[in-house]
Amino acid sequence: MLDIKFVRENPDVVKENIRKKFQDEKLPLVDEVIRLDKENREIKQELQTLQADRNRISKEIGKLMGQGKKEEAEETKKKVAEFAKRMEELAEKEKVVEADLKKNMMIIPNIIDPSVPIGKDDSENVEVQRFGEPVVPDFEIPYHTEIMEKFDGIDMDAAGKVAGNGFYYLMGDIARLHSSILSYARDFMIGRGFTYCIPPYMIRSNVVTGVMSFSEMDSMMYKIEGEDLYLIGTSEHSMIGKFIDTIHPEEKLPYTLTSYSPCFRKEKGAHGIEERGVYRIHQFEKQEMIVVCKPEDSPMWFDKLWQNTVDFFRTLDIPVRTLECCSGDLADLKVKSVDVEAWSPRQKKYFEVGSCSNLGDAQARRLGIRVKSRDNKKYFAHTLNNTVVAPPRMLIAFLENNLQADGSVKIPEALQPYMGGQKVITVK
């Protein structure tokens, strides 16, 4: 959410930003917000004036009564009552205007970074770098669920009977591989100086609306019936929520946290064959990283975060590339974002395995996460998040890049301690 003062003073900048995101339908919101803001300030001014007048006149009642001027005192009481009635009307109007103002402000997108490429959708994202050499072996690589099935490692039919489409049972070596990757990711991030955390897996609605846009909320979140609780779609929501309504001494920043959690997503809409299996599912596990820092430090942390993910995949011998998300592909709260994509030898192309985002002060403004400087000035922090790894999707890249001609899967050296020293998984 933007600062209302910024919108008031820079309406043309806000409108141009909306155009860059190809959301012209939101342009009228800017004028509506400015109108509501003006009305809100006028209401507050009138309330202050009435309050001062009522206090002043109220003091006169006692004097008039003391002077025996009862009729004048009664007339004065009527004026005070009229002031009180008008103030009550204004207070109710103020609630409505402020609610409308906040609702519209939360729909207006954040100001994107000047370095963000302009484009309508993800087809116009820009490749930044590649790491590792993409290899296509001289033997056929089966679809990822077929690879898992050869190890007796997945059962989606049984999961469909138990929970429906979009769920799975992982078993045996594949299940162990899944857990080993998460354990390795945890220790990898601890080694990078991040504090490990296991957060709540449910959050209240005020946290949900603080960390994401309404459109994301509707397409992603599962609501707990009869409770003000939602299942988290990613642990970053719960992790950023940890700081709600807090003020932090500047010298304690940054906070760097890495978190494990299960994640739950609706994943609305139809998807192609390459997004079946365990690519788009309703339940998965994830290792995440978040940073809460001073505004001037967020660009530096943004680069560090996505580099962590790249380094993690490189230790597992998986080629990756980074893509700068264009303006039309950015969620409304984001200032800047990079997707990390892993190489798929079967598809002979890259596919997304993680996303790194700088949200500026948008989440902090919504959630009330502030910083106190050494001279006691208060300002909103910046928040960032990034995926370390999100199996089982990551298993697709892992299995394809480590599959051998005989059907076995080699275990990279970094992961072997988490697999009990196992160097290869053989077909059952």
Per the model's pLDDT, the better-predicted residue between 275 and 257 turns out to be 257
Instruction: Compute the average pLDDT of residues 50-67.
Output: 80
The residue with tokens 């403004």 is: 365
Q: What confidence tier does 270 reach under pLDDT thresholds 50, 70, 90?
A: very low
What does the pLDDT look like over 192-203, one tens digit per residue? 999 999 999 999
Q: What is the pLDDT of residue 72?
A: 82
Are 317 and 409 in contact by the 8 Å Cβ rule? The answer is no
Rounded distance, CA 237 to CA 217, Å? 11
Instruction: Compute the average pLDDT of residues 8-20.
Output: 98
What does the pLDDT look like over 118-158, one tens digit per residue? 999 999 999 999 999 999 999 999 999 999 999 999 999 99
Whole-prediction pTM: 0.90
Instruction: Compute the average pLDDT of residues 207-221.
Output: 84
Give the H or E element holding residue 185: helix 172-191
Question: Which residue of the set 186, 265, 346, 366 is catalytic?
Answer: 265
Instruction: Compute the average pLDDT of residues 311-340.
Output: 96
Are 249 and 215 in contact by the 8 Å Cβ rule? The answer is no
Given a cut of 80, is residue 216 above it in pLDDT?
Answer: no
**Domains in the chain with CATH codes:** 4-105 (1.10.287.40), 122-425 (3.30.930.10)
Question: Which residue of the set 179, 352, 370, 408 is catalytic?
Answer: 352
Q: What confidence tier does 269 reach under pLDDT thresholds 50, 70, 90?
A: low
Percent above pLDDT 70 for the chain: 98
Give the H or E element holding residue 93: helix 70-105
Given a cut of 70, is residue 271 above it in pLDDT?
Answer: no
Instruction: Compute the average pLDDT of residues 13-29.
Output: 98
Q: What is the pLDDT of residue 53?
A: 85
Given a cut of 80, is residue 31 above it in pLDDT?
Answer: yes
Question: Which residue of the set 192, 280, 314, 370 is catalytic?
Answer: 280
* Structural tokens at position 54: 């009522």
Is 19 in the active site? no
Q: What is the pLDDT of residue 78?
A: 85
Are 145 and 156 in contact by the 8 Å Cβ rule? The answer is yes
User: What does pLDDT average to over the chain?
Assistant: 93
Question: Which residue of the set 180, 355, 365, 400 is catalytic?
Answer: 355
Is 213 in the active site? no
Is 265 in the active site? yes
Question: Which residue of the set 321, 357, 393, 400 is catalytic?
Answer: 393
Rounded distance, CA 244 to CA 370, Å? 9
Q: What separation, in Å, do the N-terminal and C-terminal C-alpha atoms of the chain show?
A: 53
Instruction: Compute the average pLDDT of residues 157-182.
Output: 94
Given a cut of 80, is residue 63 above it in pLDDT?
Answer: no
* Structural tokens at position 199: 């957060």
